[in-house]
Amino acid sequence: MASTSSGHIVSSYEEELIELTRLTSEMGGMVEQLVISATDALVRVDHEAARKVVSDDRLIDEKQRQIDELAVSMIARRQPMASDLRKIVGSIHVATDLERIGDMAKSVGRRTIQIGGQRLSNQLYAGVKHMSELVLAQINKALDAVTTLDDVVAVQICDADEEVDALYMSLFREFLTYMMEDPRNITDCTHLLFCAKNLERAGDHATNIAEAAYYIKTGRNLPAELDARDDD
């Protein structure tokens, strides 16, 4: 790939591209950390930690704003072409999706705060935690794909999203059974179910990031059959 093989004639342009990559990775790291913290707070029903998650989301929003500004300024000043253009446009997409994942983590944090005193079955928490790990792996791989511009991994990530969806469906059924068993659980279960839903959505955004990586690398959109996701 040219962007890695030889630098721009205008070195400040090259530096800005590197800065854009750095900001994206940094934001990726922050989002991963936030998802981990949110899941952790949820599993432990730690309201304090959950509040921190909610407030930390602002840092991620700030990061996204930085990336947007840099990207827009580069488009305005450098008239990027070809791979550079794709990289900048891709970075905007990645940042948006990362920000959405951050929002998902924040939602999880909010719901954690609302979950009441008595504890549900550990099995349910374990299911959500498992889901979180799966999604985190997806996010992690997607961010790697963006950094290394690996289109093969990107396709793999999109395929793997079905796994996350399947896990969510099974969790959903599990929660349903649980709620039917004991209506007193309904409030907390619903909260937990929404958390699982949020994580599932985070997985979708990870897929989007992988698609952006694919676009940056190849200039093409991932085929439509890989593109099956509910967009809202």
Query: What residues line the site for another protein (CB under 8 A)?
Result: 2-3, 5-10, 13, 79-86, 218-220
Whole-number Å distance between alpha carbons of 161 and 157: 6
Closest approach of another protein to the CB of residue 13, in Å: 7
Which strand (E) or helix (H) includes residue 6? none
Closest approach of another protein to the CB of residue 220, in Å: 7
Contact 219, 160 (CB under 8 A): no
How far from each other are the two terminal CA atoms of the chain, in whole angstroms?
Answer: 34
Closest approach of another protein to the CB of residue 136, in Å: 32
Considering beta carbons, is residue 84 or 188 the nearer one to another protein? 84
Considering beta carbons, is residue 6 or 123 the nearer one to another protein? 6
Residues 6 or more apart whose CB falls under 8 angstroms from that of 168 comprise: 131, 196, 197, 199, 200
* DSSP conformational letter for 45: T
Contact 81, 3 (CB under 8 A): no
Closest approach of another protein to the CB of residue 146, in Å: 18
Closest approach of another protein to the CB of residue 79, in Å: 5
Considering beta carbons, is residue 81 or 123 the nearer one to another protein? 81
Considering beta carbons, is residue 80 or 102 the nearer one to another protein? 80
Residues 6 or more apart whose CB falls under 8 angstroms from that of 74 comprise: 13, 16, 17, 20, 80, 88
Considering beta carbons, is residue 3 or 112 the nearer one to another protein? 3
